[in-house]
Amino acid sequence: MLLEVVSMTEIAEWNDAIDYETFLKNARENVEIMKARYTDFVLTDVDEDTLKEIKNKINILVIGIDRCDDTAGNVPILAKMASYLANVDVRILDSDKHTRFHENFRVNGKRKTPVVLFLSSDLKEICRWIERPTAVYKLANGNEGLRKLYSDPEIMRQSLRELMNLLVRSDLILGRK
């Protein structure tokens, strides 16, 4: 689900978040699935060219948990994108340990994971993306079949497109140098 906002709230929780490798080491569920998604997902030349255009320092904070199929489906894609960029850093904040902070991002009264916040270098929110790509909302029946859906290469590409669009938008908002 794509939600965009521009705000000037500093996200202090960044300092409590961990990088993708540490997240995988600490994870108890979906570990092999996330490793496989990261390894198997290939960026196209067009994707790489788009990423090369990112000029600003952008921090991406994911509020999620390893047992969540939506988190397991999307965090590897974010990590793969960031692996191509020295100026983009992805960190994950445990949604169970930071429930109070996670409460700020309810959708229709419910906490959703993951919440992906695109932040400036001074940790101010630029825009956000919540839970899953539009295609998954259309195809999923509740949480049934999410693992299978996220194994579909086209669903993974949909996630990449939505997340990359927000990364590019964040870079443009910050002003390309």
pLDDT at residue 4, as a whole number: 43
Average pLDDT on 87-106 reads: 94
Please state the rounded mean pLDDT for residues 147-176.
91
Instruction: Return the higher-pLDDT residue of 9 and 85.
Output: 85
- SS3 for 39? helix
- What's residue 148's pLDDT? 79
pLDDT digits (tens, 9 = 90+) for 50-83: 999 999 999 999 999 999 999 999 999 999 999 9
pLDDT band per the 50, 70, 90 thresholds, residue 137? low
> How far is C-alpha 43 from the geometric centre of its chain's CA atoms?
16
Q: d(Cα 16, Cα 33) in Å, to the nearest integer? A: 25
Residue from 160, 164, 72, 79 nearest 127 by CA:
164
136 pLDDT band, cuts 50/70/90, is confident
The arrangement of secondary structure in 2-174, i.e. its CATH architecture, is: 3-Layer(aba) Sandwich (3.40)
Average pLDDT, the chain: 89
Would you call 13 helix, strand, or coil by DSSP? helix
pLDDT at 140: 65
Residue spans per domain, the chain: 2-174
Q: Which residue has the higher pLDDT, 112 or 1?
A: 112
Sheet holding 58-64, edge to edge: 2-3, 125-130, 115-119, 58-64, 88-94, 18-19
- Give the helix ranges, DSSP H, for the chain: 20-26, 31-40, 45-52, 69-83, 99-102, 134-139, 146-151, 153-174
Query: Could you please report the per-residue DSSP string of 46-73?
Result: HHHHHHHT--S-EEEEEEE-TT-HHHHH
Given a cut of 70, whether residue 113 has pLDDT beyond it is yes
Q: And the tokens for 6?
A: 């521009």
User: Distance between CA atoms of 151 and 73, rounded to whole angstroms?
Assistant: 8
Q: Are 71 and 102 in contact (CB under 8 A)?
A: no
Mean pLDDT of all residues in 29-54 = 96
